[in-house]
Amino acid sequence: MSLSRVWAMSRKEAVQLRRDPRSLALGFLLPMALLLFFGYAISFDVDEIKMAVLDQSQTQHSRSLIEAFERSGYFTAIRHIERYDDSERLLGHGEVRLVLVIPPRFSQDLLAGRPAPIQVLLDGGDANTATIAKNYATAIVTRYSASLLGGQAALSVPVVTEARVWYNETLESRNMVVPGLIAVIMAVIAAMLTALTIAREWERGTMEQLAATPVHRLEVVLGKLLPYVAIGLADVTLAVLAGVLIMGVPFHGNVILLSGMTLLFLIGALSLGIFISAAVKTQVLATQVAMISTFLPALLLSGFMFSIATMPIVLQAFTYAVPARYFITVTRGIFLKGVGLQTLWVEVLAMVVFAIVGLTLATRVFKKEIA
């Protein structure tokens, strides 16, 4: 093991990288473009829900209830209908997500001190939106009932829930999406970048020159990794700055800890790309294999889009082999919670194993011999 030979290989790879504008664009422009695009495009927030109103009471009480829905900021009344049958047509065509039906005796029941039922019709085609809209509607009606009783509605039940949200007080999905996006994007980009390295040597005919040198396989792998590690660290730095300064995501953690965890993750992800490149030996096929083996697992099985706890047991077991799962936990924990090693030690251990396995596979599969 010679550091001078590793440095020489690293300089050689940096020169090749500088002469390849496509790889530079892939390394610097694509991650930021994906972060900004998906950071604004992906949102789990549900607001501005279009609703229709069937007010059969036409009283001050019914109008104040409708105003309570509109003042909440979650609902927008775009239609006032006259017949109950119109609700099915509006929901069926997707023109509205919710129909608020206020019966004729609504005001009379309130004035008489009787329960005054209302009906909320929801479009269940989008189960997530329907569930959230139902919860919003329930909360609005509860507050409206409390206002009618002078704020004493809570006294009618023995137990009252007072919720307090920690870490993401505004419940904005962007605060959760952006840290996860950094992990997913870097998992894909890192593997794709180094998937071109060994394959490029074969296609350009320079593998013969490399085979004639006394450089050990591990020195070749480490030398080829170093420029891309620098690119990956620069990408993550820019992504964190963009997330905090442009997209307003809070950052409560330790920058040094995030840098160290990022370095571990990048070594494993970049080594995976070199392993693929050495195994398939063509740039086109290497890029395709890298995309398939990183993008879908990182997007679907890492906990970024879907909760791992709700997956079938078999898929939950498979997620332990997805490195992005651990890095997403790290980025979200450091960004939103400001947690340290005492909380993230399992993820640290997993990424150390990932880096070691990646380097081992890349070194074992890479052959200097010319067949």
Residue 122: give its domain's CATH number. Answer: 3.40.1710.10
pLDDT band for position 158 (cuts 50, 70, 90): low
pLDDT at 263: 94
Q: Are residues 261 and 124 in the same domain?
A: no
pLDDT at 151: 52
Q: Which domain holds residue 194?
A: 3-43+172-365
Q: What is the mean pLDDT of the chain?
A: 85
Q: Are residues 244 and 101 in the same domain?
A: no
Q: Are residues 199 and 215 in the same domain?
A: yes
Q: Is the pLDDT of residue 199 over 80?
A: no
Would 128 be classed as within a structural domain? yes
pLDDT band for position 156 (cuts 50, 70, 90): low
- Number of compact structural domains in the chain: 2
Q: Is the pLDDT of residue 154 over 60?
A: no
Last residue of one domain, picked from the residues 156, 181, 199: 156
CA dihedral 335, 337, 343, 346 (to 10 degrees): -40
Compute how many other C-beta atoms are within 10 angstroms of the C-beta atom of residue 96: 24
Would 339 be classed as within a structural domain? yes
Tell me how many helices (H) and strands (E) the chain has.
16, 4
pLDDT at 155: 47
Q: Are residues 286 and 191 in the same domain?
A: yes
Between 300 and 23, the higher pLDDT residue: 300
Would 370 be classed as within a structural domain? no
pLDDT at 325: 92
Q: Are residues 151 and 194 in the same domain?
A: no
Q: Are residues 347 and 323 in the same domain?
A: yes
| Range of 23-27, 139-143, 328-332 with top mean pLDDT | 328-332
Q: Are residues 104 and 197 in the same domain?
A: no
Mark 283-318 as b/e (b = at least 16 C-beta within 10 Å).
beebbebbeebbbebbbebbbbeeeeeebeeeeeee
Q: Are residues 179 and 272 in the same domain?
A: yes
Q: Are residues 18 and 73 in the same domain?
A: no
Q: Which of 90-104, 136-150, 158-172 has the lowest mean pLDDT?
A: 158-172
For residues 241-269, average pLDDT: 92
Q: Is the pLDDT of residue 338 over 80?
A: yes
What does the alpha-carbon distance between residue 226 and residue 304 come to, in Å, rounded to a whole number?
28
Q: Is the pLDDT of residue 349 over 90?
A: yes
Q: Is the pLDDT of residue 40 over 60?
A: yes
Q: Are residues 83 and 230 in the same domain?
A: no
